[in-house]
Amino acid sequence: MRIFITGSAGFIGSALTLKLLSNKNNIILGIDNHNDYYSPKLKEDRVKRCLIYKNYEHQKIDLENSKAINELFKKFKPDYVINLAAQAGVRYSIENPMLYINSNIVGFVNLLEACKKYKVKHFVYASSSSVYGANGLMPFSVHQNVDHPISLYAATKKSNETISHSYSHLFNLPCTGLRFFTVYGPWGRPDMALFKFTKSILAGEEIEIYNNGHHQRGFTYIDDIVDGIIKVMNSPASKNTKWNCNKPDPGSSLAPWRLYNIGSDTPIELMDYIGHLERALGKKAKKKFSPLQLGDVPKTYANIDDLVKDHKFMLTTDIKDGIENFVNWYLDYYKNV
């Protein structure tokens, strides 16, 4: 099986690549632009774990480079494409909007064009729980309307879902979007709360807790996410033959196009999350409470019934164990801390 993975130096992308490489029948081409949104060294070190496999090739390429993308597809001829590359970060999108348009929309269309041209069997891409935006009905369901994003990042992810549907409808291209819910674990992103909190607590520095500590999240361990992506990839999106144009379901279509939430269906209070981290570190945090940030959502957790039913998705990692695994990795990786 020939698999093309974008964002393969990223948190989820590198973990997925590593898992898929354990099957010698998989030949994987990974691309990433290694930008400096956060430490390029961390990205390089993630990739090093994959480069020891003979069935892996890695390229530094921007998704916006349509010519380079087309050449890679022509040479590699992928069966499956998993797009995990994107400019991440809700707050950063407020300051640097064009980065998000170029990477998350222009780059996304370049991939779809290549998938169409080279008749890819299944295009799987990362969406985000942030698309639910101003929706307050919990748990979030793919069958709910998501027309009110409250950040540009969320708007680009919503655009991905809409654009992929048009390609699926016009060209019969199987497309599946996965709305991720607060993924955490070893090799995670330094801009995420768990990483920042760990660094600050160990340094004896204050941690800033937004929304005065009232955030709730469906925190999802990286291994569970990777297992879910692989299950979805291996089962290309199909047409919903019961789809009713008079009562359109936002999560499926008469085209081979699907959306799934992938994450935890049990919300965890942010203060409980911090408590688990304090116990794993053996050290109390100095806390500074701040109001809700612009573009942020106070509560997110997933209805994952469709993913469980269609792909037998399972959550296997307890939040306590997941945080301990992260702390053990962090202390090992940053031995000078």
Active site residues: 153
Three-state SS for 38?
coil
Distance, in Å, from the CA atom of 256 to the CA atom of 116, rounded to the nearest integer, reads 13
CA 33 to chain centre: 16
Of the candidates 253, 235, 255, the residue with the CA atom closest to the CA atom of residue 243: 253
Distance, in Å, from the CA atom of 160 to the CA atom of 211, rounded to the nearest integer, reads 29
Residue 60 near residue 33, CB atoms below 8 Å: yes
Tokens of 9: 């130096």
Tokens of 135: 């929706």
DSSP state letters, 114-177: HHHHTT-SEEEEEEEGGGGTT---SSB-TTS-----SSHHHHHHHHHHHHHHHHHHHH---EEE
Residue 179 near residue 142, CB atoms below 8 Å: yes
Amino acid (1-letter code) at residue 177: G
Tell me the C-alpha to C-alpha distance, in Å, between residue 325 and each of 146, 163, 180, 331, 332: 34, 37, 20, 10, 11
Beta carbons within 8 Å of 172's beta carbon, 6+ residues apart: 255, 256
DSSP state letters, 260-297: EEES-SS-EEHHHHHHHHHHHHTSPPEEEE-PPPTT--
